Structure 1
Amino acid sequence: MSDLSKWMPSDMLEPVRRFLDGDLSIAPGIKIEQFQEGSTLVVRAEVPGIDPDQDVDVSVSEGMLHIAVERQETSEHKSKAGYRSEFRYGRSSRSIALPAGAKEEDITATYKDGVLEVRAPAPEVLTGETSKKIRIDRS
């Protein structure tokens, strides 16, 4: 049975404090930026505090790049008033469409300073290709 006499009203504010401190782990998803660098799609995912060898899965299927991250965090707070232990865990993922012609074997991923960077090169689009206008029918 827990001792409610040790409960403090400020305990309810812990998620708000973490949010204001920039800890968005209570929000789902992975923050990413993506852009084209020449003919290469570059995707950067902000995933600080993880072990890329154990906590991240980067995969490709059906023309999509999939990034999945599993977090496990524990923290302990000791004071004269008592002891509190917290843990947070969860799985987040994002999927991004790959450029036409991207090959799985050419995709690379690196992790540095809390940022996962995935590069997906695609062949240059030939400028001699023509486009065809599609007629719009009225109903």
Structure 2
Amino acid sequence: MAGLLEWRPPVLPDLFDWIESGLGGFPAHRGVPGLHGIRVEQQLTEDAYTLRAELPGIDVEKDIEITVADDVLTLRAERGDETKDKHHTEFRYGAFVRSLRLPPGALGDEASATYKDGILTVTVPLATAEKTEARTIPVRR
């Protein structure tokens, strides 16, 4: 498929993790309070782009929004704080946002999503491009 080899998923997940953890452990450089990234896995086949996102503890019916605009897939989710009297927590609460560029030929209007065991799976079909043979184009004067 033309363009399939040209698209590459983001190659900076380690940088994303480093920034998310406070720029390498420097607490003074934390990101936007209450706004967190979403960890994802991406898979590209000849007929579909599949995105799996870790979103445990989310109410699918009211706390997840998925949009596609200008070849960008955006996931938004929110998890409210359930307990008020905790001594220590490493859970993340608040808004979670992640935007990813779709590969060439992605049919965003036909995307579908499922949620099971804390994993959101979004599948976006790809247009099937018929292979065309090379042809010579004559130049006129």
User: How high is the TM-score relative to the length of structure 1?
Assistant: 0.61
Of 91, 96, 107 in structure 2, the residue corresponding to residue 92 of structure 1 is: 96
Name 1:44's counterpart in structure 2.
52
Name stretches of at least 5 consecutive residues in structure 1 with no aligned partner: 1-25, 78-82, 131-139
Structure 1 moving runs of 4+ over 6 Å: none
Deviations 1:20-63 (A, max 9, x none): xxxxxx88310000011332000000000010111110001011
Which runs of no fewer than 5 residues in structure 2 stay unpaired?
Answer: 1-33, 135-141
Aligned length: 100
CA RMSD of aligned residues (A): 2.8
Alignment of 1:28-39 (within 5 A): 28-39=36-47
Of all paired residues, the percent bearing the same amino acid is: 36
Greater fraction of residues in strand: 1
Structure 1 residues 15-94: aligned runs within 5 Å = 28-77=36-85, 89-94=93-98
Structure 1 residues 1-33: Cα deviation after superposition (integer angstroms, max 9, x where no partner): xxxxxxxxxxxxxxxxxxxxxxxxx88310000
SS in 1 for 2:82: strand
Query: RCO higher in 1 or 2 (8 Å CA, sep ≥ 6)?
Result: 2
